[in-house]
Amino acid sequence: MLFQTRLGKIFTIVMFVAGVMLIASCAPKDRIAQSQLDTPEHHIYTGLQLLDEEKYADAQREFELAIQLDVKYSKGYTGLGLVEIYTGDFKAADDDLDKGWDKAKNDEDKIFVHVSRIRYYTQGQSKVEKKWLKLAKNEFDHAIELNPKHASAYYFMGLAYKAGLDFGQAGLMFTKVLELKAEYTAEADAQWNFIQKVQRAMPGTTAGKQIALVERLTRADAAALFMEEFKIEKLYKKRTPKTFDTSFKDPEKAAATAKPDKITTKDIAAHPLRTDIEGILKLGVRGLEKYPEGNFLPAELVTRAAYAMMIEDILIKVSGDNSLATKFIGTTSPFPDLRPDLPYFNAIMVVTSRGIMEAKDLTSAEFEPLSPVAGVDALLIIRKFKDELKFN
């Protein structure tokens, strides 16, 4: 009986050891480095470079190579999370960022996760959390608590504030990066200059602030900009001379025409800026009318020439000076890329002669009439136009 008991214990021990060995044999093994630069650190560095270049598949490969060399390497998992953030897979990103945190061995690993979480909330915004900016700020606070001079924390928090339309705080973050003179200095300098342009434009509405972030203005954006930020309807009522028709009208016909049909187009029926577009169609701004086939084409990009024509049209209507429409016809062009016979030549001359717009390239004096208009530049032009009209 005693012999059987001892035999049972031995059997149990043997089975336990065998189980441990089986688990160990099934666990993933670290890959053997193939060269001197085949290290987790080098793959993370390369992966982040590729991520900045938006080469997401290549970046993912580098992060996976880092993990293959060390399956417990925190930054490898955090790097994968970053790839998933920018490819829109927020669930997988959340999981990998958690893995990166669980495997963090030091403050540098933890800061990398905190900063990546800032990027997670900024990129996902309301897709992941409605209070995303507050959550990003919490991650930022944790990061600088570990290292108050970690430049990337300030830089990505600056981008978060920028996305959240808090341009003042964004500017402070980018200024801090420049003071630290470490990583992201060039990027922070570019962002700081952008913020300065936005603050000079002084957008007063949410729509204006959102348009400031638009890289290329569309016709729908332009409609919203004129209706909400420029308040063109108010301007027209204030500046356009009133006309009164005192002639006799048949009561029945007058009632039938009292409420004209709303001017609209089929291709804006489900557009989020439909109200602004219909408002601008009603006012009839040159360059933002219906196309002959009856569509508005809200996604079409606005060129600098088209924007100049819009500004000229508004200026003529509010000033009542119809001579502006032909003022520069027959004159010499001061811009090497602008012929006097072009249909938008007069409009460009009107706005540039008043300082509302200027050459895009001041060195070559080229106006670049067919290049797109950035949102922040459109706002700056509106600000100068307001100053010209002395309208607030």
Angle between helix axes 151-163 and 185-201 (nearest 10 degrees) is 30
Q: What is the pLDDT of residue 242?
A: 55
Q: In 3D, which of 274, 292, 296, 288 has the Cα closest to residue 232?
A: 288
CB burial class (10 A; 0-12, 13-18, 19+) of residue 302?
buried
Q: What is the pLDDT of residue 247?
A: 60
Q: What is the pLDDT of residue 241?
A: 56
Give the range among 22-31, 315-324, 341-350 with minimum mean pLDDT.
22-31
Q: Higher confidence at residue 8 or residue 307? A: 307
Q: What's the whole-model pTM score? A: 0.84
> Which H or E element spans position 189?
helix 185-201
Q: What is the pLDDT of residue 2?
A: 45
Euclidean distance between CA atoms 296 and 219, whole angstroms: 8
Domain range list for the chain:
40-201, 207-389
Q: Higher confidence at residue 23 or residue 5? A: 5
Q: How confident is the model at residue 27 (pLDDT cuts 50, 70, 90)?
A: very low
State yes or no: pLDDT of 22 exceeds 60: no
Q: How confident is the model at residue 127 (pLDDT cuts 50, 70, 90)?
A: confident
271-314 confidence digits (pLDDT tens): 999 999 999 999 999 999 999 999 999 999 999 999 999 999 99
Give the range among 43-57, 152-166, 241-255 with minimum mean pLDDT.
241-255
* Tokens at 118, concatenated: 């800032």
State yes or no: pLDDT of 8 exceeds 60: no
Q: Which fold has domain 40-201?
A: 1.25.40
State yes or no: pLDDT of 103 exceeds 50: yes
State yes or no: pLDDT of 343 exceeds 90: yes
Q: How confident is the model at residue 34 (pLDDT cuts 50, 70, 90)?
A: low
Q: What is the pLDDT of residue 238?
A: 83
Q: How confident is the model at residue 13 (pLDDT cuts 50, 70, 90)?
A: low
List of residues 6+ apart from 3 with CB closer than 8 A: none
Measure Cα distances from 207 to 81, 124, 165, 237, 384 in Å. Answer: 32, 20, 10, 22, 18
Give the range among 13-22, 75-84, 185-194 with minimum mean pLDDT.
13-22
Give the range among 19-23, 38-42, 188-192 with minimum mean pLDDT.
19-23
Tell me 27's DSSP state.
S
What percent of the chain is modeled with pLDDT above 90?
80
344-377 confidence digits (pLDDT tens): 999 999 999 999 999 998 899 999 999 999 999 9
Tell me the average pLDDT across 111-115. Answer: 98
Q: What is the pLDDT of residue 296?
A: 97
State yes or no: pLDDT of 21 exceeds 70: no
**DSSP of 220-276, one letter per residue?**
HHHHHIIIIIS-HHHHHHHHSPP----S---HHHHHHHSSPPPP--GGGTT-TTHHH
- What residue type is assigned to position 255 of the chain? A
Residue burial 172-208, b: 16+ Cβ < 10 Å; e: rest: bbbebbbebeeebbeebeebbebbeebeebebeeebb
Q: What is the pLDDT of residue 388?
A: 86
Tell me the average pLDDT across 30-48. Answer: 81
Euclidean distance between CA atoms 222 and 285, whole angstroms: 11
For the chain, the average pLDDT equals 89
Q: How confident is the model at residue 56 (pLDDT cuts 50, 70, 90)?
A: very high
